[in-house]
Structures are given as structure tokens and as C-alpha cells.
Amino acid sequence: MDLFEKFAGQIEVFVGVCHTLSRNMYVTGHGGNLAWKMDDDTLLITPTQMNKGDIRREDVTFLNFNGEVVAGKRRPTGETPMYINFFRERPDIRSVIHCHPPYVNAFAITTGPNWLMRPFFPETITEVGPVPIVPYGEPLTQRLADNFLPFLKKYNAFLMENHGLVIMSRLDIQWTLMNTELLEMTAKHILHALPNGGLKEIAREDVRNMDNIMRTRNLPYMGAPDVWTSLEQLYFEEA
């Protein structure tokens, strides 16, 4: 069966997420890209050099995990090497969004503390986790893709220095979008709080108790399976 027919429903959702990112100004110009694993050898990905608000069904591209186009008329995003690394190193991951949400991205260009590594809100702690800074690498290069490797097994969200956010999940592209929105709101709150008396983290004991939420909701810890055994370890022993 033709891939555009086989995955028609997923394509509709994927294009909708592209449009939401554009409408929220999380991507501008030709910036940002998305990928969603359809099966063990098929990746749905955005085309290169298109505004995400303009993307339609016929513009998306299907790749295999060698990075070769298997369906679609357009060339895939130039960040394809980065995505191939992601799905090879994290076979548990199903979907990835790279975008430039303005409040989150403020931490990509500041010289102060990366407050996105710290525990402030229960939802962000249990759904997204800490967000490390990945050292700068030239866009569209293997070097940028490889700069993720020390971090990729440990986390599900990453802030590329002087560039933008990459966020991934074990669920579909809509779930990854919701986590993007959650992280953007968290960053907005942090930046509003900083000039108003500083920041108040959730205490270590209370982070430890949030493992109850993880068990109740059957949530996986961030990173590859079995890397972390508790939120306390993730936020305090790694710090």
C-alpha cells in the first residue's frame, strides 16, 4: 500500500502540529522540523525550506532509517542526520519536535544558570524532566547531531546552545507538542519570577514523593529505559 494512504490519519495529525507550531510562533521562517516514527523502518518527517504553516499533506516526506527517501516529492529537512541519530540511539522514542519557542529559547542564549534543569512544577517534572544545554554545533551538520550523544540516553528534552529546543517522547507527535507547550509555559513563569524575588524550587523530599505520581499514572522516567530509577536521582544526584 502507498505510504500516503497507509498513514493518511497520521499525516493529517502531523500537518496539524506543524500548523500549531507556526500559529504559536514556536517556528518562524523555514525554522524547525518534526519527525514521527510510523514503524520500525518508516519515518514521517518535514520537508526542507518550508514554513511549517504552509505545509500540506503532499509536502511531507517518508524516510527509512538509513535516511533515504521512500515516499514524497520534496527533500527532507537538512537536520535529517540529527533525527537518524535520535531514533538509532533511542529506539524507545516515537516522535521528535525541533522548534524555537521564545521563552524556552531565552535559556539558549543566556550566560546565567540553566533553570530548566531544576524542579519547579509537578507537571513539568513528571512529563518533561530536566532540559540540558547541548553545546553549539553548526546547523545541518553531523557535528551537531553528535553533540547530543552524551545527553541523549539521559533526557527527553534538550536545548541546543544558540539555536533551539529538541523535545521527544515515547508517544505520538501530539503528545510531544503538548510537552513543548508545557515547557514553554514553565520557562515563561521562570523568567517572570526571576526579577520578582528569585525562584523557589520544589524540595528534594517532595520531588522524591512524586515517584508516587509516576507509579499511579504509569509514567516512564525520562531518558532511555532503566537509566533512572527515581525523580530524586534525576534532579539531585545528577546535578
The structure's pTM equals 0.96
pLDDT for residue 238: 65
- Confidence class for position 92, pLDDT limits 50, 70, 90: very high
Q: For the beta carbon of residue 125, count every other beta carbon within 10 angstroms.
A: 23
| Predicted local confidence at residue 140, as pLDDT | 79
**CATH number, domain at 131?**
3.40.225.10
Query: Interior CA angle at 24 toward 19 and 25, to 5°?
Result: 95
Strand order in the sheet with 61-63: 69-71, 61-63, 42-45, 33-39, 95-99, 164-169, 157-160, 133-134
Confidence (pLDDT) at 203:
97
Distance (Å, whole) CA 221 – CA 154 = 9
Spatial separation of the C-alpha atoms in residues 29 and 133, rounded to whole Å = 24
Q: How many CA atoms lie within 13 A of 220 on its CB side?
A: 15
pLDDT 10s digits, 95-144: 999 999 999 999 999 999 999 999 999 999 999 999 999 999 888 788 88
By residue range, what is the domain housing residue 14?
A: 3-237
Distance between CA atoms of residues 157 and 165, nearest Å: 7
Is the CB of residue 186 less than 8 Å from the CB of residue 101?
no
Q: Is the pLDDT of residue 1 over 70?
A: no
pLDDT in tens, 179-212: 999 999 999 999 999 999 889 999 999 999 999 9
Band (pLDDT 50/70/90 cuts) for residue 227 is very high
- Residue among 47, 38, 33, 45 at smallest CA distance from 7: 38
Predicted pLDDT at 148? 92
Work out how many domains the chain is built from and give that number.
Answer: 1
pLDDT (average), residues 144-169? 95
Residue 59 has pLDDT above 60, yes or no: yes
